């Protein structure tokens, strides 16, 4: 028998029974900044396991919710904005990308991946920081490359990969997505030959 819901709490809202069950029981959920902030906040609060947060665009989440991200995925600009949200101040413009990641970790974020286009990505957690190279490819269209990176990261983590290995895989998928036109049409499938990271380095 289906449960009754008030108009303010429909079954497919975060507080509704169907999505609530999905959020609370999933081993991993992926969220991003375009979700209305009330729903985004509620989903993070309800999650019992790993939260992957692609904070694009950056929204003003409380620091205790940002600290649940594992990882927080941002680009260079978003990383600085996220640090500002965590600290309540504008970050020093002279901070390097590495400094930004280290300070996000110091302020409680569990792990961070910063995407940097053709420069690859930086991965940070409480054990340290590592650079992930981006393969050199002939870029046709960068549309959707960031989403491809996030999706590949989540897929790899769901399969049990470490954070650094997930980022390495995601860098290859993101690079592949740049070799075709459009967003989803340019994404690889399981049979697609991904570019070799040895072809490029930071």
Active site annotation includes 196: no
SS3 state at 41: helix
Tell me the two tokens of residue 151.
Answer: 């999706």
Query: How many whole angstroms separate alpha carbon 38 and alpha carbon 50?
Result: 19
Measured CA to CA in angstroms, residue 32 lies from 7, 21, 119 at distances of 25, 19, 23
Task: Please tell me which residue in 92, 125, 127, 147 is annotated as part of the active site.
Answer: 147
**Residue 30: how many CB atoms within 10 A of its CB?**
18
Q: Are 109 and 125 in contact (CB under 8 A)?
A: no
Paired with 32 in beta bridges are 54
Q: Please give the positions annotated as active site.
A: 147
């Amino acid at each position: 028998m289906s449960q009754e819901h008030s108009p303010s709490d429909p079954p497919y809202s975060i507080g509704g029974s169907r999505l609530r069950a999905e959020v609370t029981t999933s081993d991993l959920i992926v969220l991003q900044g375009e979700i209305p902030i009330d729903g985004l906040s509620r989903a993070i609060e309800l999650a019992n396991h790993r939260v992957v947060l692609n904070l694009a665009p950056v929204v003003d989440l409380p620091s205790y919710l940002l600290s649940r991200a594992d990882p927080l995925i941002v680009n260079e600009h978003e990383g600085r904005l996220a640090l500002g949200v965590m600290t309540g101040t504008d970050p020093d413009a002279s901070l390097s990308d590495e400094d930004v990641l280290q300070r996000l970790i110091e302020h409680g974020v569990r792990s961070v991946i910063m995407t940097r286009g053709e420069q690859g990505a930086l991965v940070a957690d409480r054990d340290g920081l590592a650079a992930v190279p981006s393969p050199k490819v002939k870029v046709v269209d960068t549309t959707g490359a960031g989403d491809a990176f996030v999706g590949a990261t989540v897929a790899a983590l769901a399969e049990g990969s470490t954070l650094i290995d997930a980022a390495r895989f995601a860098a290859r998928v993101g690079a592949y997505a740049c070799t075709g036109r459009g967003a989803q049409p340019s994404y690889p499938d399981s049979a697609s030959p991904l570019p070799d990271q040895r072809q490029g380095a930071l």
